[in-house]
Every structure is written in structure tokens, then in C-alpha cells.
Structure 1
């Protein structure tokens, strides 16, 4: 279906209800048993190297090319198991001592579920490292989380991860846990959790337990992506819906903190295949996907009109850092974090 402009819509379907349950208590227990570290310390132990302006096939026929981009390493480019989806940054957080991009990935195979992970990438050193996002349990163990993780936003130390049909999962980066503080190895690479006095995380050194949950109050709304608008007097959390061939996907905005769970406003996007959306400076920006061989588009809604800009292949979630609009691409051998002018 053809796209149209954005239009206001009912906010009620996006109302959230807080559902912390035992999450905070279980995460605190796990953090007490393992011990927390910092994002800066993780970056100092980064074990992978990105390539500046690598994986150039991602750009397809895009002209001009992005202002800058960082490609994941050969192993992460080639894997058919993990797909990058969400992106946020240190500037969005405001809580880190160094520039950093955070990228969520989901595990695609049906068999041998490995959950979701987040990459911490330094644009200064080009070094990065993955950490496993987990759900802690009251008995002091934890388990992987089987969701799509289509978007991620960061405010302070809190990560908001999109859970498509349930709402927003929250992870506190103050609980970034380093397994090396309590054991000399990284445990069994084929399992995750606590067993026989040891911790396992599919071979990852770092785990981050979920601390909170904002669940959609009624079925129907989808949480496909998430971002933060920091251009106004107060930051706003933005979420929206991906619909394949239907321009009826919606987007909603909340004052950060999500007090009460009710959105401030909501709109019909008027465009199909929107993988990420962000309001900034009175404009709406939308990343629109195609397929693994076709360039996407950056759609900019400014009042009553929608303008299309060239974009790489496979664009996803959106964030803003250093005055640029950044996204991440998902397809094999075309996986980069890239920035363009706002």
C-alpha cells in the first residue's frame, strides 16, 4: 500500500502498566553475588574490532554515502544466527564517560535458543564487546530472553528494550555484571544460568539482568522499535509499530520515567515497513526497509509533507549522537552502525 503523511490517533492502545514483580529483587541478588562493573571497564576489555567504512556493500547505490560508519567484524558479519536490530548511544544516555554505541541482536534459529545480546562499540577505538541480556530468577540464577529486541533506547543507566507484543523490558546498566570477578573462566559455552556454584552465559563474559517491565495494558499495540527524543525541554521516549505492507503502523511518545504509563501523544505513521522512528526538532524521521539487496529510505516528515532521502540496505532503529542520525543495518555481510545528517 502507498504511504501517506502522519496523522494523530488514539493513545489508549499504547498505555503501559508497570509489572516489576520479582525482577528488581532477583537482579539485585545476582548483582550482589557477582559484582557490577562499568561500561567504561567493559570497553577497556573489548575483544572485537570494528572496521571504519567497512562492509561497503551495505551502501548499495546510496549517494551520497553516510558521513561515517562502523562495520562489525568478519564473524559477526557472516553469522546466520544473530541479527542486529536496535541502536542507542552514550549521548542518549548521558551517563557514560566515553562515546559508545549500543546495539541489540536477536538469536534467529528456533533450536538452541541463545536469547538477546547487546554490543558496546567505541567509535574512538573501534573496539567492541557483546553482553548477554538475561532474566534473573529468585533462586539466584538467570535465563536467556527469547524476544526480537527490535529497538533499544537508553536514558541514564536504564536500557529500554522493545518486546514486540508485551511492551518494554528495562535493564539497569548499574547491574552490568562481569563473570570474571567470581570465576577464572566463562563457564559452559552451551548453557546460561547458575549451576554447581558456577555461572554460565553461552561463553559471554558480561551479563545484564532485567530489572523492570512496562507491559502493554491491552493486546493489540506492537513495540517494534524505541528511541529517545532529546531535542525538547524534557526527553521523550518514542516507540512504534512495524507493519509489512500496511501504512497503518502507529508511533507513540511518553515523558521519560513513564509515570502513569499513558502516552503523551500518538500518530499513524502513514508508511509501511518502518523499522525505526524518532521525533527531533519538530520533525519525524523514519527508517524504511526493503530487502537484503535493495536500498532502504530515510523518510522525513516535516509538517504536512514527507521527503525521502537515500539510505543503506537494511536500516533499523534510530538514535542521535554528535548532531547526526544513526542507525544499524541487519543483513549478513551488510552489518554496520552508520550516521547521516539530521
Structure 2
């Protein structure tokens, strides 16, 4: 694929090693005290509304328009505190019993860090619910996670979250914790963790504690996005790096179930500003951004050919559900989950 901007490269620099530490212990302690629930139960209590074909400004000059898109509600359109980044779905997981999109958001203000959250969104009910991702501690408390969360991918009950500097953080979707099962209210909206006998999560009802970490072995590579490829005989986890200028960004694929080590293959990208990548057979799909006013592009690599397709403003991570390619857009008043033909 050298002629089209994807060059095979040495796999060793992208190797990952497992560093669980006391993460699983802390998460298990919390689950034992609060009680775990699942994605289906969370969606049944979803408290926010998606708007079918809302926030059309996100599409900019894109023609043709996406076949489907869903806008977040006004509170999540207007905020300059939270920005959507990663996207995965129930088909990636293979074990969630209902259609669902999952979207990661990072908290932007420099002071008063509130970490990262995931929206669980139903394309059937057009309802969604936020859950705060947290790092549990052995003493039974927990705190926010201050990373960009530029990409997420679900496989089974595990949610992989890209950590730019470290590699991949892992969360157990079978261990969603509903704070209302432990207390009558949602605690203080300005506090996080256990304080006395009460649990707080900045007012969020649901928290998901981190259970594992896969850390990059060599300094240098960054992990900006992540996705799942289920098109072959062996599912694969894909991750890669965003770079403002090219070359230097990369993508790599690991066989699933994930066991770390070197990827099965890796490529250096000849394109700048790649926000997401997914492969299907011999074809790669790359999401390329520009700025908050200009349309992005979808770059499709198939063998030695490169096709450029129109994309909305601010496209991010990629996933595949229902035979379509889906992404999410990040900018204020232009925040949608949208699907296009593969």
C-alpha cells in the first residue's frame, strides 16, 4: 500500500505489556459493595434524547448526506466542557443483547478535572445515558481519569479505551455500577469517590471502574484511536496514532482475544490528522479531520487504490454496525453519530 500512503513497518515499537496492578482488585471491591448491572439495564433507564437527523450543521457541505444520523440533546450540543471522541457499538462487542452505540467524551477545562465518560445510546429508542469511567483504589474509593479517550472499542464485556501516552485502558461492561443501588440519591455533583458512607460521581448515576492496563513497551508511539475488525476468521483489535503532519502516524492490528505483545501487522500513515481507522478484509477506512468549520474526509484504501469520500465536520473514531460505517463528530452544536455505506 506504499503508493497510497500506508507503508508496512516494523511491529516491535508498538508492543504492549499488561500492567493490571491493583486495578482489578479495586474494581471488584466496588462491585461487591455497590452491585453490578449491565448495558441493557442502563439503556432501560436512559435519561437523554437523541434527535434523528438533528444538528444538520455537522454535515457542512457533505453530499450526499449520510443515510442516518442522530444528534445529542441540547445540553450536550451546547457544552464546551465535554467533547465526544471515541465510538464503538454492540456488534463490536458481540455479547450485548440490544443495538447500542457507545461514545467516549473527554473533559476539556484545565481546572476541576472530571475525567472521561461514555454515552450509551440506543438507535431504537433514541435514548441515551452517560456513565463516568473511573480508576478504582484498593481502599474502595475511586477517582476521575484525565486522558483524551480519543477512541474506544468493545469486545465481549471489555471496553478498550485509547490512552495517548500509556496505551490501552480496559473497563468491564459487565461491571457497570449503579450508585442508586447503594444509596437513595446521586451524591454531591461536585465530588468524586467515597466520602464517609456515600459514593459520589459528579452527579452521574453510573460509573465503570477500570480493570486493566496494556502499556506501550517502548517510548514514542501514541495511542489515539481504537476499533474492532470482525470481517475475517479471527477478530482483530486496531489502534493507531493521530499526527498533525504526515508522515508519522501509524495503525496496527492485534488478534483477539487480546494478549498484548507486538501487533500482527503495522503501517505508517502518509496522511495527517487521522482520527479513526477500521479495516474490512483488504480495505482500510480512515477518518480525516480538518477544523471546526470545514468538512473532513473518509479515505478508503483498497489494495493500491485510494478513494476520497465526503465526510462531515469534525469526524472522529470509526465503527461498523448494520453493514454501515459509523463515526461521531466533536464540535459544539455539531455533535452527531452518523452512518454511511461501506
1:7-18 superposed matches below 5 A: 7-18=7-18
| Aligned match of 1:240 | 240
The secondary structure found in structure 1 opposite 2:30 is helix
Change (3 A) 1:255 1:35: same
Deviation at 1:75, TM superposition (A): 0.5
| Aligned match of 1:334 | 334
Deviation at 1:119, TM superposition (A): 0.2
Contact 1:4/1:247 (CA < 8 Å) preserved in 2?
Answer: no
Q: For structure 1, list consecutive stretches of 5 or more residues without a partner in the other structure.
A: none
The secondary structure found in structure 2 opposite 1:42 is helix
Does residue 139 of structure 2 align to residue 139 of structure 1? yes
The secondary structure found in structure 2 opposite 1:272 is coil
1:33-182 superposed matches below 5 A: 33-182=33-182
Deviation at 1:270, TM superposition (A): 1.3
1:197-208 superposed matches below 5 A: 197-208=197-208
The secondary structure found in structure 1 opposite 2:97 is coil
Contact 1:5/1:305 (CA < 8 Å) preserved in 2?
Answer: no
Contact 1:18/1:215 (CA < 8 Å) preserved in 2?
Answer: yes
TM-score under structure 2 length normalisation: 0.98
Contact 1:297/1:312 (CA < 8 Å) preserved in 2?
Answer: yes
Deviation at 1:4, TM superposition (A): 4.5
Mapped to 2, the partners of 1:33 and 1:219 lie a distance apart of 38
Deviation at 1:96, TM superposition (A): 1.1
Deviation at 1:260, TM superposition (A): 4.5
| Aligned match of 1:216 | 216
- 1:97-128 deviations in Å (ceiling 9; x for gaps): 11000000000000110000000000001000
1:255-334 superposed matches below 5 A: 255-334=255-334
The secondary structure found in structure 1 opposite 2:26 is helix
- 1:213-268 deviations in Å (ceiling 9; x for gaps): 00000110110000001100011000011000223211111012332422101001
The secondary structure found in structure 2 opposite 1:65 is coil
Q: Give aligned pairs, total.
A: 340
Contact 2:165/2:222 (CA < 8 Å) preserved in 1?
Answer: yes
| Aligned match of 1:195 | 195
Alpha carbon RMSD of aligned pairs, Å? 0.9
- 1:301-331 deviations in Å (ceiling 9; x for gaps): 0111211000000000000000000000000
The secondary structure found in structure 1 opposite 2:277 is strand
TM-score under structure 1 length normalisation: 0.98
